[in-house]
Structure formats: C-alpha cells, structure tokens
Structure 1
Amino acid sequence: MNERILISGASLAGLTLASWLARYGFRPTVVERAPALRAWGNGVDVRDQAVTVAERMGIMDDIRAAAADVRGMKFVDADDRAVARVPIGEPGAVEIMRGDLVALLRGTADVEYVFGDSVRSLDQDDDGVTVTFENAPDRRFDLVVGADGMHSTVRRLAFGPEERFVRFRGHYFAFADADASLGEDRCVTMYNRPGRMAGIYRSGNHPQAKGYFIFRSGRLAYDHRDVAQHRRLVREAFAGDTSWHTKELLAAALADPDFYFDALGQVRMDSWSKGRVVLTGDAAWCASPASGAGAELALVGAYRLAGELAAAGGDHRAAFPRYEASHRALVDKKHQIGANVRMMVPRTTAGRRLRNAVARSPLPRVMGALERRLQAGPRPLPEYAPAR
C-alpha cells in the first residue's frame, strides 16, 4: 500500500483529499507555499455531488450555517440605478466564502502540514518519489499529488511547462476587500464600461464586502506571484474611470494586502497522472471562475481520487485511471462556460444594452428552470471502501 502521500496545495481540493486519505488509513502530508491557510477568498458554490461529499464529511450543516446568503445580482448605470436584476441560487446549493470552507475542511482531519514551503524538484523511480523542497530537507514519498492551482508547480515539474496546458480566455480579473456601504446587502452589484466590469459582492452573513474587477485584454506578460505588478496592471486598466463607485473600489482594492489577480484561464490536459504523480483541482482541470464550479469540481474530484486509491489498496496504477474515468465527464461539462463572460463583461455599449434587456426579461429564469427540469440529476457518488 502506498501510504506516504504528499499533497502540494492547501486549498479546497488538497484539504478534501487529505481528509479522505486520512480516513482511509493513508498518511498524507500537505505542503503549502503560504505561511498559513488562506482565510480570504471569493464566494464559492457547494452544489450537486459536492453536497454529498460535504455531508459524508459531516460539515454540510456548518456550511449552511456559514452561507454567504447572497440572493441576487444587479447591473447598474453610472448613477447607481439598477438597470436589470437576476435572482441567483439553485435548489439545494449553498454559497460560502472560500476562506470559511477552507477552515471547515481542515477541521475534518488531523494530518501533517508544512507551511511556508514548496516543492522544488521530483525524482520518480519504481519504489517512490524523492521530493526536494525549497526550505525543508528532502523527503521520500510513495505518491505525490499536485493540488496547487492553475499555476501548479507539480504539474510543471512532472508534465511540462504551463503554456502547454493553460488556455487563456481573453480576460483578467481581480478581487479584494471593499467598503460594504457601496453595495446592496445580499447582492452582487456590477457596473460595466465596454470591455470592463467593476463590482461589489456583499454577503448577508459577513461584514466585509469584496470588490471585483474584470477587463478584456490580449495576453499580458507578468509574473503570477508579483503582486506589485498585478496592482499596476489593474490600476492601468481602470485608470481615469471615475464613474459609479469604481474609483473608491479600486483604491480600497489596491490597498488590500490580500489583493488577488490572475488571468481568466482553463486547464486542459489529456491525462492527470504520470507515474506516481497525479493532479487534482485547478491544477488538473481549472474551469475558470466564470464556470462557478471550482468548489464542486474540487470536492468531488478529491473525494473520487482518495476513494479510488482506497478501493485499489493504494495501487496507483489501478486507482489513477479509474479516478480520471469517473470524473472526466463532469469536468468536460463545466468547461463549457458559454455566455457567462459575455454577460458579465459585454464588449461594446450595444452588447451591454442587449445584456440588460435579456436580464430584465423572464428568459434567464425560464431557461434556468427548464434546464434543471430536463437535466438528469447527478449520478450518485459511490461509497468507497478500502480493499482488504
């Protein structure tokens, strides 16, 4: 049995995987570049099969208690007048702030964590993987899991450079803390200029609001870890835009130490494993924030990976292909983000008017209800049992 498993990344997929592996008798170690768990983040949806995973982990009631309780989305003009409103939320689904979900996931299992460090190199052989870290001494593991996001270090080391797998979707986004008084309670408020969006997300259960920014652009050259560069790019993209509350939101965002910026991208891979190394979460299949499916894919994928390893008695040669075969269809479906980005960030003034007209009509609600009725419910998740 391959008991010693290194997981790179302590976000939703990594924490879920560590919890289930520990339950099945494996010995997971989680290494995280940050000095502690990331307590901040945007709202994420726990829906469909992810609800089942959370229930089996015993945290679904806590997730419901911590729900963000955002009930609608509205588009406004420069004078802050609502020009269209869209109700949001799905039956049975719960939106929760990412940091709250991270804290709940960590509390489900007592495993080894190594913070403030990262994988530097991987050396596989027939019996295991020798891992060199940036700071800690070298260690030997039976398997290595990359759960370290769209810019995965493990993926780069085991599979090749990022540009082979990350597909840029023509936009960049940022979010950070915002003044809650600028937005409506329990609402996502968005203001558009052609090719740009500034918005505010105000949870009903949290005093701190979040400011959001999205802009269309060709591919930009920057270091994804250089926050000073990120602030400059967003400042330049919204320079001189004093309409609505954009100036105030931008000033607050640029001052937030947890300011976050990245490209809107998707990860596309033919295989998620190579020898004793396997990927999960955004490292394997990032569907982009526009999909709204990041948490769902992370929880379900990590659950399946741990379960298949348990069912195979730790034999990665059997478990990894079964994990991918069971999860690939859901990933492919969530990669189809459709008109989500065009709805949030119309390219032209005419496109913005069309979006507002469609949003004011009954069409989005009717289509959403029809899709839920026609779509077969998700297949039940198996309850895995360790091989004897």
Structure 2
Amino acid sequence: MQRLKVLISGASIAGPALALWLAEYGAEVTVVERWPELRTGGQLVDLRGVSREVIRRMGIDADVRAASEDNFGLSFVDRRGRARGTLRSDRFGGDGPVAEIEILRGSLSRVLHERSEDRVDYRFGDRITSVRDEGAKVRVEFASASVESFDLVVGADGLHSELREMLFGPEVRHVRHLGTYVSFWTARNHLDLKDWTVVYSEPGRSIGMRSILGSTKTMAFLTFRAGPPAYDWRDVDAQKRMVRARGYGMGWEAAALLSQIDTAPDFYFDTCSQVKLPAWSTGRVGLLGDAASCASPLSGHGTSIAMVGAYVLAGELARTPDDVTGAFGRYEAVLRPWVERIQRAAPGQGRVMTPETSHGIALRNGVTRLVSHLPGKALLLRNQVRLSHAVSLDDYSRHRVGTDRSRGVRSE
C-alpha cells in the first residue's frame, strides 16, 4: 500500500479495528475521538460467525477470549424467579441466542487500542467540525481549531454519527426507529448468578441481569416497546427518569435493579434503530459500522458487522490505494447485502426479547423449553446461525507490511 494518510472518527470498536488493519498495510492512520480518553465501560457485545475468523486473522483471538465474559446460558423466569425456558450457549455452534464470545464493549475497545496504539495516532478530546473533499485530498477542520488534509476520511462514530450528518444531512432522514428502547447499567450480583443471564418479561417490557467480571457484578438491562423518541439523546438525566418510569411496578427483581441506576458508572440508553443510507460513502469520505448501517442491538450482529466491515474496507483500500472511491464501492458491494439481511431479521428478535402480550411471553417461554429437547432443534434457529456466516472474506494478507504480529514473521 502506498503511504495513505487516513483519518478515522471514533475510537470505540469499528474505528480502532480499521486503524489496526490499515496500520498492518502500511497506512499513516489518525483516530480522533470526542471523549477525553478511551471509554472502557459499556454494555456486552457479541462476536458471531465470520467475525470470529476476522479476529483470528487479526491476531487478537487469544486477547479477545481472555477479556470476554463467560456465559453458559440464559433463562426466562416468571415473577417468582422460576425458570420457564432455558437456552445454553454451547448449542447452535456459538451463534444462537447466547453467543460463544460475549465481551464488554470497553474491553474489546481496549484490546484493539492496545494492539494499535504504537502505530496509530490517537487524539482524544477532539472531533471533526468540517470536511471538504477537494478531489485529491480531504480538508478537515477540528474543534481544536487545527486544519489538516488526508487522503481519505472514515466515520466510525456510531448511530448518532456527526460525520454522517455532514455528508447526508440530519439523522432523522436516515435513522429508523424499530419501536424498542434498551438500557444497560452495572449492578450488584445480588442473586449470585454464575456466568448466566436471567430475563423477566411483562407485556411490552423486559428486565434482566447477566453476570460479568467473574460474576462479581451484573449487567442489568431494561427493554420496552414505545413509539418514536421525543427526547434529547444527550440528556442522561431525562433518560434515567424514562427508564425508571418504564420499569416502575414490574415484578421479580425489577425494583432492586432500577434502584441502582443513579449510582451506576456506565448507564446507557438509546433507541433500537437502524441506519438506512443510499450509499456509505461520497468521494473520499466514507462510513463504517453503526454510522453506515446500524442494524440495532436487536440484531445481535452490530459488533460483528463492525469487525467484518473494518477488515473488508481496509483490505480493499490496500488492494487499490490509488483508487479510494473504488475501494469504498467494493467494500459496500461486499457488505451491504449481508447487512440488509441482518437488518430485516432484527425486528423479529425484538419481539422475542420483549413480547407485547402475555400470550407472546408464554409462547416464547414454551418454545424455549422445547428447543433443547427437539431432535431438530437446530432447524428452529438455522436462519440466525446461517446469517452469522453469510458473507465471504477475501484474503488480503499479501498486502501486509512489516512485522506480522499474529505469526511473528515478516510479511511482504
């Protein structure tokens, strides 16, 4: 790869993953992040199907697995905490409702950052305020008042991407609410769960807890069904009030979990939404991960899409460094059909996690009880399992330069 000068906006998962791959191909990479430091908290994310092959090729498989959170399964319970349906993570090849690799978002971000920080210029506490594609270069202005030019710019800045808004206009034009909201926060493990997830549902809302950090804590979560958002996604206090109100009066352990929202260091709340764009790039500026094509947390594939997308985009740029727009086009041609299939499947996952009626809850629990005992149990979830593998990975290894850390040898 010629010495491409690349700017990436966002240092969560997609951004550092792309930065690491581009550094492997010899690019000069800068990552700008509006937060003052790397965020190490956050909810659990899954690595499914082909994304596990990506982390193997990246040479971080052992690091990711060491930082992951063991989870042997999930139980749907009634008001008294009695299990009404159970799914184990060792079924369905690790790609069923409970994934083989579940890791805290911040832990995965840390792994990617640590493996790339000596070859990537990370700039925390700054953000892009203006981009102008000048044909041969992209002129970028930053909040810090500096101005620089890059060969290309990639927005990996999430569902509420500022760079996407600069390229394609207000997010209201491109973000589609799926009728479900989700919140996460760290809580005490007062039920002494051991590598397990428990979910309790009432019509239109579900609450649960999943043991984390060696079962010393839990990740509590609430999902509920509601119409389009009418709040400022930056107003955390308003979000907390909304979550407490929506969870008020629920049975099981809801009161104990909701009482810990204000003291949680990592409260998260947002809509379950999808991003639908006519294109993922324009000229020398492109988008990656949730910024380009968020499938929503309901899909269970958001992090997998980010990791696979970073692999493909970096590889295509390495293949034709003198044709950035062509590389963006090939990256989208590979990823978009897969992403759109995942997006179409996501609303169904929301109905499973948060049924709207008592009958729906009973049906879900009944099917869950049966699935582990039926001879053809894999057939019930075969579409989800196939979806996790439904994209092919090209081999870009010939474009690597310098030391190949995953093998400890020199690459040409």
User: Same fold, TM exceeding 0.5?
Assistant: yes
Task: Give me the whole-angstrom Cα distance separating, in 2, the residues matched to 1:285 and 1:30.
Answer: 20
Q: 1:248 — aligned with what?
A: 256
Give the TM-score normalised by structure 1: 0.93
User: Structure 2 vs 1, CA of residues 380 and 247 (structure 1 numbering), >3 Å: closer, same or farther?
Assistant: same
Aligned 8 A contact 1:67 1:205 in 2:
no
Q: Find runs of 4+ consecutive structure 1 residues off by over 3 angstroms.
A: 203-206, 363-366, 368-380, 385-388
Distance change >3 Å, CA 372–CA 41, structure 1 → 2? closer
* 1:234 equivalent in alignment to 2:243: yes
User: 1:263-274 counterparts in 2 under 5 A?
Assistant: 263-274=271-282
Name the residue aligned to 1:105: 112
Partner of 1:207: 216
Task: State the SS of the aligned residue for 1:91.
Answer: helix
Once residues 219 and 357 of structure 2 are traced to their aligned partners in structure 1, the CA distance between those partners, rounded to angstroms, is 26
Corresponding position of 1:145: 154
Tell me the distance in 2 between the aligned counterparts of 1:268 and 1:372: 21
Q: Does 1:16 align with 2:17?
A: yes
Corresponding letter in the other structure for 1:157: M
Q: Following the alignment from structure 1 to structure 2, what is the Cα–Cα distance between the partners of residues 151 and 377?
A: 27
Report the counterpart of residue 334 of structure 1 in structure 2.
Answer: 342
- Distance, in Å, in 1 between the alignment partners of 2:198 and 2:266 is 21
* 1:163 equivalent in structure 2: 172
The offset of 1:368, in angstroms, is 4.5
Distance 2:385 2:296 in 1: 26
Kindly provide the amino acid, as one letter, of the partner of residue 180 in structure 1.
N
Task: Name the structure 2 match of 1:54.
Answer: 55
Q: Are the aligned partners of 2:48 and 2:388 in contact in 1 as well (CA < 8 Å)?
A: no
Q: CA deviation at 1:369?
A: 6.4
Q: 1:130 to 1:55 in 2, by over 3 A?
A: same
Question: In the alignment, is the contact (CA less than 8 A) between 1:75 and 1:191 conserved in 2?
Answer: yes
- SS of the counterpart of 2:68? coil
- Give the letter for the 1:177 counterpart: T
Give the secondary structure class of the aligned counterpart of 2:271: strand
1:316 and 2:324 matched: yes
Q: Does 1:382 align with 2:394?
A: yes
The answer for the alignment partner of 2:67 in structure 1 is 66
Deviation at 1:376, TM superposition (A): 10
Count, aligned residues = 387
Instruction: State the Cα distance separating 1:325 from its structure 2 match.
Output: 0.9
Q: Which runs of 5+ in 1 are unaligned?
A: none
| Corresponding residue SS for 1:252 | coil
Work out which of the residue numbers 195, 201, 205 in structure 2 matches 1:196. Answer: 205
Report the counterpart of residue 93 of structure 2 in structure 1.
91
Residues 252 and 122 of structure 1: CA distance in aligned 2, closer, same or farther (over 3 Å): same
State the one-letter code of the partner of 1:105. Answer: L
- What's the CA shift for 1:30? 0.5
- Matches of 2:158 and 2:28 in 1, distance apart? 22
Contact 1:2–1:315 under 8 Å retained in 2: no
Aligned to 2:266: 258
Change in CA separation of 1:366 and 1:338 when aligned onto 2, cut-off 3 Å: farther
Contact 2:13 2:306 in 1 (8 A): yes
Q: Counterpart of 2:199 in 1: which secondary structure? A: strand
Q: Which of 285, 291, 298 pairs up with 2:299?
A: 291
- For residues 99 and 374 of structure 1, the distance between their equivalents in structure 2, rounded to whole angstroms, comes to 28
1:365 is matched with 377
Partner AA of 2:358 in structure 1: T
Work out whether residues 15 and 102 of structure 1, in 8 Å CA contact, stay in contact via their aligned partners in 2. Answer: yes
Matched position secondary structure for 2:36:
coil
Counterpart contact for 1:7–1:147, Cα < 8 Å: yes
Counterpart amino acid of 2:362? Answer: R
Change (3 A) 1:248 1:314: farther
Q: Check whether the contact 1:33–1:117 (CA below 8 A) recurs between aligned residues.
A: yes
Runs of 5+ consecutive residues of structure 2 not aligned to the other structure: 95-99, 401-411
Paired with 1:23 and 1:74, the residues of 2 have a C-alpha distance of 42
1:41-87 deviation digits (Å, cap 9, x = unpaired) = 22222232212221122110122223311111111111111122122
- CA pair 290-198 structure 1, distance change in 2 beyond 3 A: same
8 Å contact from structure 2 (residues 50, 389) kept in 1: no
- 2:102 aligned counterpart, secondary structure: strand
Q: 1:143 to 1:375 in 2, by over 3 A?
A: closer
Code of the residue aligned with 2:4 in structure 1: it is E
Q: Which moved more, 1:138-147 or 1:201-210?
A: 201-210
**Quick check: 2:205–2:222 contact (8 Å CA) kept in 1?**
yes
Among 279, 289, 292, the residue aligned to 1:281: 289
Residue 131 of structure 1 aligns with an amino acid whose one-letter code is V
* 1:38 Cα deviation after fit: 1.5
Deviates more, 1:270-279 or 1:369-378: 369-378
Cα drift, residue 114 of structure 1? 1.0
RMSD: 2.3
Shift of the 383–106 alpha-carbon distance from structure 1 to 2, 3 Å rule, reads: same
3-state SS of the aligned residue for 2:129?
strand
